């Protein structure tokens, strides 16, 4: 999409709904080098005495060269300016767990990390969304008689698939192959003063992949298993297993989840927690209509992480749909008071993932944040006053883009 022949970095964020764009032209390594910038409806070109960087735009995006305004210099970034754009709205997201896409089809469940088959040729006759996590508390407002759903858990039947925010529930009763639960040591309990002991197995509901030992989900009952969306891929049985880099897959699933929840429930603040209930990340969704286009002239200077090598192997120029979030880590006792405030706020939605995936996501956010122009990495005055208490991102308020991979 782009051909970069110089070290000048070109960064363009297009806001589809606002029909506007922010253009950042990075500083050349040699200070004081003149820049010759050419803007056309379909491309950007930056010439220096040492080379040329050209950025070609996707077909659905057009710039208005005569609308350039707000030119200013930002130390550490380079030149900032704004333009008007004509950008088509991105296609509607179609989740891989969408009811209509999977119902009535024979599907195969794979471990996303290694491709191991988890469930083979399962015909899903009903693919239904689960109610929100606090639906039980609202039943009293709906019914004028005692709760008819009390003590009646929602468990899928043999050909059902129930969809939660970050997981799916399936019935494994008829499957010959089932994921092997993780084994744990037995616990000893003293029964009397006679020093007699009894071995009692410790309950462990983790479901792990036989091949790569990654945690896939949890057993909810003897027949019902919860699989996390970040750990499995569900494909029609006639299709082959799609090889998707891990970091790209995690970003896609989380980003689609944020977009869908914000649209359906007008929820914009999220707590990402492990399966043990421990908070790892606080997320605040800012917008979901960004198209980011850049020439990655400076990507070599960013520290590489093995988990994210697929991102760094991208072409020197790239474009992707993105959601923009503020985030704060909660590991190592950081931001604990803010996490407690959010935990007691009914407008904050919890997203539960395996603990290892929470750490992966935090690493991805940190990597994406470090790849942004310096002026876009932090927001220093972002806060929201709640009715009960101030919920404020204090200190280093970090903003990061999360890539959404749209299905073809």
pLDDT of residue 104: 62
Phi, psi of 20 (to 5 degrees): -140, 165
Torsion angle (degrees, nearest 10) of CA 250, 406, 293, 166: -30
390 has a pLDDT exceeding 80: no
268 has a pLDDT exceeding 90: yes
Which is higher by pLDDT, 194 or 158?
A: 158
**Tokens linked to 380:** 């220093």
The residue-averaged pLDDT of 96-111 equals: 68
pLDDT of residue 93: 57
pLDDT of residue 379: 76
pLDDT of residue 384: 38
Query: Of the given ranges (93-107, 191-205, 251-265), which has the lowest mean pLDDT?
Result: 191-205
* Winning range, highest mean pLDDT, from 59-68, 135-144, 187-196: 59-68
pLDDT of residue 317: 54
84 has a pLDDT exceeding 80: yes
398 has a pLDDT exceeding 70: no
Whole-number Å distance between alpha carbons of 36 and 48? 7
pLDDT band at 184 (very low <50, low <70, confident <90, very high): very low
pLDDT of residue 189: 35
Residues near 267 by beta carbon (within 8 Å), at least 6 away in sequence: 261, 347, 348, 349
Model pTM score: 0.82
Which is higher by pLDDT, 152 or 75?
A: 75
Of all residues in the chain, the percent with pLDDT exceeding 90 is: 38
pLDDT in tens, 46-83: 888 888 888 899 988 999 999 999 999 998 888 999 99
Whole-number Å distance between alpha carbons of 99 and 80? 44
- Paired residues of 283 in beta bridges: 270, 327
pLDDT band at 133 (very low <50, low <70, confident <90, very high): low
Which is higher by pLDDT, 404 or 260?
A: 260
Q: With CA atoms as reference, report the closest residue to 121 among 69, 59, 77, 174.
A: 174
Query: Of the given ranges (107-111, 223-227, 291-295), which has the lowest mean pLDDT?
Result: 291-295
The residue-averaged pLDDT of 296-318 equals: 49
371 has a pLDDT exceeding 80: yes
Rounded to 5 degrees, what angle do the CA atoms 278, 280, 285 make? 125
307 has a pLDDT exceeding 70: no
pLDDT in tens, 38-52: 999 999 998 888 888
Inter-residue contact 323 to 13 (CB < 8 Å)? no
Q: Structural domains in the chain?
A: 10-87 (2.60.40), 95-145+153-174+204-243 (no CATH), 254-380+397-406 (no CATH)
Which is higher by pLDDT, 309 or 331?
A: 331
Inter-residue contact 349 to 265 (CB < 8 Å)? yes
The residue-averaged pLDDT of 376-388 equals: 54
pLDDT in tens, 2-35: 443 445 789 999 999 999 999 999 876 655 667 8
Query: Of the given ranges (13-17, 178-182, 353-357), which has the lowest mean pLDDT?
Result: 178-182
């Amino acid at each position: 999409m782009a051909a970069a022949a110089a070290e000048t970095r070109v960064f363009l964020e297009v806001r589809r709904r606002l029909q506007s764009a922010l253009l950042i032209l990075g500083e050349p390594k040699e200070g004081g080098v003149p820049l010759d910038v050419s803007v056309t409806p379909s491309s950007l070109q930056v010439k220096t005495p040492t080379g040329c960087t050209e950025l070609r735009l996707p077909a659905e995006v057009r710039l208005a060269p005569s609308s350039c305004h707000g030119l200013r210099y930002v130390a550490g970034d380079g030149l900032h300016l704004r333009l008007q754009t004509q950008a088509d709205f991105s296609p509607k997201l179609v989740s891989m767990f969408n009811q209509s896409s999977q119902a009535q089809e024979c599907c195969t469940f794979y471990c996303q990390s290694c491709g191991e088959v988890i469930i083979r040729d399962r015909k899903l006759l009903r693919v239904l969304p689960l109610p929100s996590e606090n639906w039980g508390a609202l039943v009293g407002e709906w019914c004028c008689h005692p709760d008819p759903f009390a003590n009646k858990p929602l468990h899928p039947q043999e050909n059902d698939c129930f969809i939660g925010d970050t997981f799916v529930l399936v019935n494994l009763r008829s499957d010959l192959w089932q994921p092997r639960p993780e084994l744990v040591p037995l616990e000893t309990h003293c029964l009397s003063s006679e020093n007699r002991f009894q071995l009692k197995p410790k309950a462990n509901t983790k479901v792990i992949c036989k091949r790569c030992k990654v945690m896939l989900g949890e057993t909810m009952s003897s027949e019902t298993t919860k699989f996390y969306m970040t750990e499995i891929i569900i494909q029609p049985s006639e299709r082959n297993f799609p090889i998707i880099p891990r970091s790209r897959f995690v970003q896609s699933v989380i980003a689609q989840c944020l977009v869908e929840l914000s649209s359906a429930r007008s929820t914009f603040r999220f707590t990402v927690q492990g399966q043990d209930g421990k908070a790892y990340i606080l997320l605040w969704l800012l917008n979901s209509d960004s198209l980011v286009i850049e020439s990655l002239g400076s990507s070599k200077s960013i520290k590489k992480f093995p988990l994210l090598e697929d991102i760094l192997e991208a072409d020197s120029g790239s474009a992707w749909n993105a959601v923009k979030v503020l985030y704060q880590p909660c590991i190592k006792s950081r931001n604990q008071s803010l996490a407690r405030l959010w935990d007691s706020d009914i407008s904050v939605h919890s997203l539960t993932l395996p603990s290892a995936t929470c750490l992966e996501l935090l690493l991805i956010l940190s990597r994406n944040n470090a790849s942004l122009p310096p002026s876009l990495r932090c927001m220093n005055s972002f806060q929201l006053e709640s009715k009960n208490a101030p919920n404020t991102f204090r200190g280093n308020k970090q903003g990061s883009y999360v890539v959404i991979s749209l299905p073809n």
